[in-house]
Structure 1
Amino acid sequence: MKSHFVSDLNAEQTITSLFLVYAKEIRNTREGKPYLRMELGDRTGTIEARMWDRFEPAAGQINRDDFVQVRARVEMYRNKPQLSLEALRRAAPEEVDLADYLPHTKADVEKLYAELRQTAESLKNPWLRKLTSKILSEPAVAKRYKRAPAAKVMHHAYLGGLLEHVASLCGLCKAAAAHYPELDLDPLLAAAILHDVGKLDELCYERAIGYTTEGQLLGHIVMELDTVNRAMDAIEGFPDAWKTVVRHLLISHHGQYEFGSPKLPMIREALVFHYLDDLDSKLAAVRAALASGSGDPEWTEWSAALERRFLRLDEFLKARIGKEADRPSEASAAKAGPGQSK
């Protein structure tokens, strides 16, 4: 049973607990003395750890993605908590509960996936219906689609995050098509279902969330294009024109060249989908920042995904309105008269 989580650590605290190794390296001080630097984490976050003496025997048996038990003191370094390790060993498998180390969506993934398959079956366009249903019905795809995160860090970076993101996008697509009647809902929904299927193989998420070798070399857009191309080729009579449209929806969904999009959105529905995808991703990043206990009472910590801090509006208004209520009003001050106090 894990006794301490990263988010609960306080300065000057001594702990013994289990963590997942995100990174490990031997570094040298300015004086040339070697020390062990590690990045340790659990489902609540990560923390830097350093061991200055007698680390060689344990360090030689430990690698990235291993679980370790540490005895350490929590110290503050540059206004951030850091672990000073006193003892370190590799943890046995029976000591570890994986649920302690990877965050998971709070949604019911079985229900979300069933609803996603219903959405695919509801498409009026027969080719898009066949394509999306074919991919979602594959057992290997279903297993990973229910588990995959949507990203390593940027948004929905937890198990089931991809499915949660796609389900949200389907709702946004329906709302946009209802508001703008000129939009064709079927390509929007097909884009939502297929636009990140490459992440099933781009990311690895058995212990820590990271990138596979293929994911680093190719990226999810190239990988999903291959997956969807094979599925379209397997559907007899799939029109070439619709193949072109589907490919464009996939390769343009990042919206801009500098964001890794091979082409700009040049179909009305592709443009709309890009903005919906961007909106859902950014709001998820804002949600994560506001939910984090880091930062101060009114401001979140710096969001690397969005390159800013966010005001905790409720806390700001509560504090400021409370102060205003405590101050005497102008009318009360005037009634009290000059030289008088209430």
Structure 2
Amino acid sequence: MIEGKSGSYPILSEILREYDASSDRFENFVNSKQGFFFVFGAKKVEGSRGPYYDCMVGDYKNRKEAKAWISESGCLEPVAGTVALADYLVDDRFGLSIKIRRIFSIELISDDGVCPGFFEAPAAKMYHHARIGGLAEHSLSVVRYALALTEVSDSRANIDRDLVVIGGLFHDIGKVKTYTTEAFEFDYSDDGYLEEHISIGARLIDLEISSIEGFPEETRRKLIHIVLSHHGEVQFGSPVTPKTRESIIIWLCDNLDSRLDNFETHALMTSNESKWTDFSKMFQSRLYLGERKKCD
């Protein structure tokens, strides 16, 4: 859920979960509400009732088609990288449908007071979460994996959960200054080429901590170590290897989330008729999808 001043707004994955679970429960869940959806792409169409946009909207997990009528979508066009406020409803004929009411730019809803660019930056140029908002999406996923791993670990009594959360959120914070996102095409910035995100991130965090009076030195040391070590090995860009419980967890969860996203990206680009994806540079192989349901 996205919490706003006027109430709670579900994201697509939450809507689909309720829709699949029970039609009665879904009717109660809808309750004349609206939801927020990230716009992945849009195409203008000249319809019999006037021009509109065929859009692909979604969240970190799911995507679905939606329509935006130009007279109702506000001043902004629903281009990739914007956010849509939309009605969602279900009927016997069309099933679940989404109708966009208003378009927002990310800047209008982001709270970037601490770190400008966090909600707009991609997590990578190509390999994983290479999309507007990818950094925030990836960082939150790492936190979720890390907390789950902490719960099942025999060392959980000795793991600093607060450090795991803040380390997961900010392990890639240097990427806010590593990439340029002009016209939604990603490239390295000057700082990105000269320093790369790990050293930039450690510097940003150290600078922020220095402005907080009485910040614990041991926490500063461990947090910066998470940033410096989260690639695991020197040959992969980390100047040091993980040497604390929390840094080991973030390293493993960062690797897991980035690889799963790379897999899903290749799967989305593969036709239902094919069992194999194209070659993945991350895995240095094609990826096996197996038999899949064919679309009607």
Are 1:205 and 2:181 counterparts?
yes
1:311 matched to which residue of 2? 288
Per-residue deviation, residues 290-342 of structure 1 (Å, max 9, x unmatched):
11136961111111122111122233xx79xxxxxxxxxxxxxxxxxxxxxxx
User: Is residue 104–residue 158 contact of structure 1 (8 Å, CA) maintained in 2?
Assistant: no
Are 1:237 and 2:211 counterparts?
no
Q: Secondary structure at the match of 2:286?
A: coil
2:161 matched to which residue of 1? 185
RMSD: 3.1
Q: Which whole-Å CA distance do the structure 1 matches of 2:226 and 2:275 have between them? A: 40
1:214 matched to which residue of 2? 191
- AA matched with 2:151: A
Q: State percent identity of aligned pairs.
A: 28
Q: Secondary structure at the match of 1:251?
A: helix
Q: Which whole-Å CA distance do the structure 2 matches of 1:210 and 1:103 have between them? A: 16
1:160 matched to which residue of 2? 133
Cα separation, partners in 2 of 1:294 and 1:215, compared to 1, 3 Å = farther
Q: Which whole-Å CA distance do the structure 2 matches of 1:137 and 1:235 have between them? A: 20
How does the TM-score come out when normalised to structure 1? 0.52
Whichever structure has more helix as a proportion of its residues is 1
Q: Which whole-Å CA distance do the structure 2 matches of 1:178 and 1:140 have between them? A: 29
2:55 matched to which residue of 1? none
**Residue ranges of structure 1 left out of the alignment (5+ in a row):** 1-42, 45-96, 113-135, 320-342
Per-residue deviation, residues 23-59 of structure 1 (Å, max 9, x unmatched):
xxxxxxxxxxxxxxxxxxxx89xxxxxxxxxxxxxxx
Q: Which whole-Å CA distance do the structure 2 matches of 1:283 and 1:209 have between them? A: 21
Q: Which whole-Å CA distance do the structure 2 matches of 1:171 and 1:206 have between them? A: 30
- AA matched with 2:176: L
Q: Which whole-Å CA distance do the structure 1 matches of 2:83 and 2:282 have between them? A: 19
1:129 matched to which residue of 2? none
Matches within 5 A, 1:275-294: 275-293=252-270
Matches within 5 A, 1:31-180: 99=79, 138-139=112-113, 141-142=115-116, 144-180=117-153
- AA matched with 2:233: Q
User: Is residue 202–residue 211 contact of structure 1 (8 Å, CA) maintained in 2?
Assistant: yes
Q: Secondary structure at the match of 1:244?
A: helix
- AA matched with 1:308: S
Q: Which whole-Å CA distance do the structure 2 matches of 1:263 and 1:310 have between them? A: 31
| Rg larger for | 1
Q: Secondary structure at the match of 1:314?
A: coil
Q: Secondary structure at the match of 1:148?
A: coil
Displacement of 1:244: 1.2
Displacement of 1:240: 2.0
